[in-house]
């Protein structure tokens, strides 16, 4: 019996959610067509839409706006200080987490067999309304 791969471990590392070895990305955010190790077809996750960007945006906005407000209220910093401190913080907190979050969403989608237009009864589970 094969070992179950943690979707969090595989996703955050950008690895295949089935084998944990192959890479999910070809570029920064471009998905491969399939796993180069086990051959898993990644077409199930070809459209993660804005999910990863939304999650990262929530984190980035919370941190950057919180920092900018603190900096302004505590020191009444001039605009150039905000430009030198807050702008890099916004870039770091919005660009760097995109890849791990997208990998995590792909792995979770595979792990839970999520798909567009399917309900639990399509997966062989009993409908709770019956």
Render pLDDT for 75-85 as a digit per residue (tens, 0 to 9): 999 999 999 99
Inter-residue contact 58 to 47 (CB < 8 Å) = no
Kindly report, residue by residue over 19-56, the tens digit of the pLDDT. Answer: 999 999 999 989 999 999 999 999 888 777 788 889 89
In a domain, 98, yes or no: yes
Domain total of the chain: 1
**Residue entry with tokens 């491969």:** 32
In a domain, 129, yes or no: no
pTM of the full structure: 0.80
In a domain, 40, yes or no: yes
Mean pLDDT calculated for residue range 106-126 = 73
- pLDDT at residue 114 tops 70: yes
Residue 36 is part of which domain span? 7-115
In a domain, 95, yes or no: yes
Which ranges of the chain would DSSP assign to H, the alpha helix? 7-13, 51-75, 79-95, 98-111
In a domain, 130, yes or no: no
In a domain, 121, yes or no: no
- pLDDT at residue 130 tops 80: no
* CA count, 13 A, side-chain hemisphere, 63: 16
The pLDDT value given to residue 49: 72
The pLDDT confidence band at residue 125, using thresholds 50, 70 and 90, is low
In a domain, 124, yes or no: no
């Amino acid at each position: 019996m094969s070992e179950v791969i943690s979707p969090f471990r595989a996703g955050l590392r950008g690895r295949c959610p089935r084998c944990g070895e192959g890479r999910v990305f070809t570029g920064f955010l471009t998905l491969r067509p399939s796993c180069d190790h086990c051959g898993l077809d990644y077409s199930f996750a070809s459209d993660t839409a804005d999910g990863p960007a939304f999650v990262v945006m929530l984190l980035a906005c919370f941190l950057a706006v919180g920092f900018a407000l603190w900096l302004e209220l505590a020191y009444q910093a001039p605009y150039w200080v905000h430009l030198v401190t807050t702008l890099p913080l916004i870039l770091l907190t919005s660009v760097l987490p995109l890849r791990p979050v997208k990998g995590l969403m792909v792995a979770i989608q595979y792990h839970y067999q999520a798909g567009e237009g399917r309900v639990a009864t399509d997966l062989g589970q009993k409908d709770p309304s019956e």
